[in-house]
Structure 1
Amino acid sequence: MDGNCTNPRKFSYQTLACATNHFSEKDKLGEGATGSVFKGFLRELSCSVAVKRILFGSKYGMESYLPEVKVLTKLKHENLVNLVGWSCNMKELLIVYEFVANKTLEYHLFKETVFLTWGHRKTIAWGLASALLYLHEEREQSVLHCDIKLDNILLDSNFSPKLCDFGLARPVEHEQESGYPTVLTGAPGYLAPECKKSGKASKESDIYSFGVVVLQMACGKPAVEQFQENGTKFELKLVDWVLEKIEGGENVSAVADPRLGLSYDEKEMEQLIVVGLSCANPNPYDRPSIWEVINMLKC
C-alpha cells in the first residue's frame, strides 16, 4: 500500500463521493449489518481504498459507530487492515480503509478461484495469532475485536491475513476480568457459549472465535452446518464434529479438508487441530491465552 495512505485523516464528503463514483452499485464490494462497502480511488493520495458507508437510523446514531474510528486510529499492525481516514455528518459516517484486493478468507475457503494451499493456511493462522497478540497484550490498553470470523479476514496478494471490521471492538484494561458488555451479532458458530449467557465479550471469547476459524482452515467446513432429516432441521457445530471424531479415535485425515489431498504435513495438521479445539473449549477458563497459542503454533 502507498505510504501516503498510512496516516489517518478526515476527508470531505465530496472527496469520498467522487472517489467511489458517488457510491456506484458497480463499485460495491459488499454489504453487512451496519452498512455497505465500496471500492474507491483517492487521486490526491494515489491509492485504492475501501469506503464503508454507514447511514444513521432512528435506532443507532453517530455515537454507535464512532468507537470503530477511535479504536482504529490507535492501531497499527501488518495483520490488521489500515485505517486511511473518515468523514462524518449528522446523516452518515464514511470510514476509509486500505483496499485489500484478494478478497476474504471465506471466499477462498468456499468459493475459491485460487486454492488455499497448506502453506497459505499456516501463514494465515500465524498472522491472525500475531494480530490477536498485538490487540490483547502488546498495547497499553487491550482491544477486544468481538467479531472474528472468516468474512472479517481479508487476504493480501501474498495470502497474509488482515483482520477487519472493528465495528464491535472495544478497548479494555489488561486486568479487566469480567468481560465487556457488547452487542451480540455475527454469523452462527463463532460466538463463545458464555457470551450468550452474560452478553459480555472478553479476551477468552476472541480466542474462541479464533479457534473456530483455525478449525475451518484445517477442515474446510462451515462453522455450523444445517441439515434436514425426516422433516426435522438440525445444526451441527464444527467444534462438536471435530471433537467427536478425535475423541472417537479417528486420525487427522478424517477431519482434514479433503481438497488438500495429501499435500499437508500430518503433524502440522494435528497441531492446528489441537490449537483450534483448545481455543474453542466451551469453558473459557480452560482456553489458552494468546501467548500460549503463539507457543503452540511454534512447536
Structure 2
Amino acid sequence: MDGNCTNPRKFSYQVLARATNTFSEKGKLGEGATGSVFKGTLKELSCVVAVKRVVFGSKYGIESYLPEVKILTKLRHENLVGLIGWSCNKKELLIAYEYVGNKTLEYHLFKETDFLTWGQRKTIARGLASALLYLHEERDEQSILHCDIKLDNILLDSNFNPKLGDFGLARPVEYEEESGYPTVLTGAPGYLAPECKKSGKATKQSDIYSFGVVVLQMACGKHAVENLQRNGVKFELKLVDWVWMKIATGENISAVADPRLGLSYDESEMEQLIDVGLSCANPNPDDRPSTMELIKMLKY
C-alpha cells in the first residue's frame, strides 16, 4: 500500500465518487453482503483503492453500518485489508480500502488455470490464523469478531499473502451489550457454525469454525457446500461432513487431498492441515482450538 494511504481519513463524497468514475460498471469489482465494490484511483494521493458503496435502505440505516468504519479505523495488521478512508451522508456510506490486486482465494482455488502450490496454501493458512489471533486476542482494545470468514473475503497480494477483508458484518465481542443491536449472523452456507443457527449470535468459536472450513477447502480443493443428486433426489453435502465421512471410513489422505496438487505436497503436513480444519469445525464449540492454539498447530 502506498505510504500516502496509510492514515485513514474522511473524504468528501465527490472525491470518492470521482475516484471510481462515478461508480462505473467497468470498474466494479464485486458485490458483497453489505454493498458493491468499485476500483478507483485517488489521484491526489497516487493511490489505487477499492471503494465499497452502501446505499441505506428503509430497514437498515447508517447506525447499522457505522460499526464497520469504527472497527476499521483501529485495525492494523499485515493480513487485514487496510482502510484508506470513508465518506458518509444521509443516503449512503462510501468506504475506501487498500486495493489488493491478485483477486480472491475463491478465484485461485476454483477459477484460475494455475493452481495454488502447497507452499502458498500453507502461507495463506498461517496468515489467516495470524489475522484471527490479532482480532480475537492481540488488540489492546475490544476483541473483534469478523463474522463472515469465507474464500470470497480473503484477498491475495502479489506474493500470495492473504488479506482478510469485508468487515461489513464484523462486531466487537461486547457489541450487543453496549449498543443494544443484536449480533445476528447471516453467514454464507457451509461456513456458519451449527450453534449459530439456534442462537443467531457470533462468537470467537464461530469465527474459528469458519476458518476451519476455509482450511479444509485449501486442503481438499472443494466448495464449502456441494449440490448433489442421487437416485433423482437433490441434496446438499457440506465439505466438513464429507471429510469426516472419508476419515471415518479409513480413507487415506490422498482420498481427500486436492487432486490438482498431485504428489506435490508433504503427506504429514497435509494430514496436519486437515486435522486443523476438522478441529476448528468441531460441532461442539467448546472443543474447538483457540486462535493461539491454531498458531501452534500451524507451525509445521
Give the structure-1-normalised TM-score.
0.96
Q: Which residue in the other structure is 2:208 paired with? A: 207
Q: 1:264 to 1:245 in 2, by over 3 A?
A: same
Q: Which residue in the other structure is 1:57 paired with? A: 57
Shift of 1:149: 0.4
The 5-angstrom pairing of residues 249-268 of structure 1 reads 249-268=250-269
C-alpha distance in structure 1 between counterparts of 2:296 and 2:115, whole Å: 28
Q: Which residue in the other structure is 1:43 paired with? A: 43
C-alpha distance in structure 1 between counterparts of 2:46 and 2:210, whole Å: 36
Shift of 1:158: 0.4
Structure 1 counterpart of 2:25, one-letter code: E
For the residue of structure 1 that corresponds to 2:38, the secondary structure is strand
* 2:147/2:187 contact within 8 Å kept: no
Shift of 1:231: 2.8
Structure 1 counterpart of 2:53, one-letter code: R
The 5-angstrom pairing of residues 198-237 of structure 1 reads 198-237=199-238
Shift of 1:232: 1.7
Shift of 1:250: 1.1
* 1:81/1:98 contact within 8 Å kept: yes
Q: Which residue in the other structure is 2:104 paired with? A: 104
Q: Which residue in the other structure is 1:131 paired with? A: 131
Structure 1 counterpart of 2:216, one-letter code: L
For the residue of structure 1 that corresponds to 2:65, the secondary structure is helix
Aligned alpha-carbon RMSD (Å): 1.4
For the residue of structure 1 that corresponds to 2:298, the secondary structure is helix
For the residue of structure 2 that corresponds to 1:256, the secondary structure is coil
C-alpha distance in structure 2 between counterparts of 1:232 and 1:278, whole Å: 31
Q: Which residue in the other structure is 1:116 paired with? A: 116
Q: Which residue in the other structure is 2:153 paired with? A: 152
C-alpha distance in structure 2 between counterparts of 1:185 and 1:160, whole Å: 27
Q: Residues 5-31 of structure 1: CA distance to partner in whole angstroms, max 9, x if unpaired?
A: 110000111111111011100000001
For the residue of structure 1 that corresponds to 2:272, the secondary structure is helix
* 1:101/1:157 contact within 8 Å kept: yes
For the residue of structure 1 that corresponds to 2:97, the secondary structure is strand
Structure 1 counterpart of 2:7, one-letter code: N
* 2:184/2:202 contact within 8 Å kept: no
Q: Which residue in the other structure is 1:6 paired with? A: 6
For the residue of structure 2 that corresponds to 1:200, the secondary structure is coil
* 1:279/1:287 contact within 8 Å kept: yes
For the residue of structure 2 that corresponds to 1:21, the secondary structure is coil
Shift of 1:183: 2.6
C-alpha distance in structure 1 between counterparts of 2:262 and 2:114, whole Å: 16
Q: Does 1:167 align with 2:171?
A: no
Q: Residues 229-279 of structure 1: CA distance to partner in whole angstroms, max 9, x if unpaired?
A: 233211111011111111211111000000000000101100100000000
Shift of 1:59: 0.7
* 1:181/1:201 contact within 8 Å kept: no
Q: Which residue in the other structure is 1:18 paired with? A: 18
Q: 1:10 to 1:36 in 2, by over 3 A?
A: same
Q: Which residue in the other structure is 1:280 paired with? A: 281
C-alpha distance in structure 2 between counterparts of 1:67 and 1:113, whole Å: 38
* 2:79/2:163 contact within 8 Å kept: yes
Shift of 1:114: 3.3
Q: Which residue in the other structure is 1:93 paired with? A: 93
For the residue of structure 1 that corresponds to 2:277, the secondary structure is helix
For the residue of structure 1 that corresponds to 2:57, the secondary structure is coil
Give the gaps of 5 or more residues in structure 1: none
Shift of 1:2: 0.6
Identity of aligned residues (%): 84
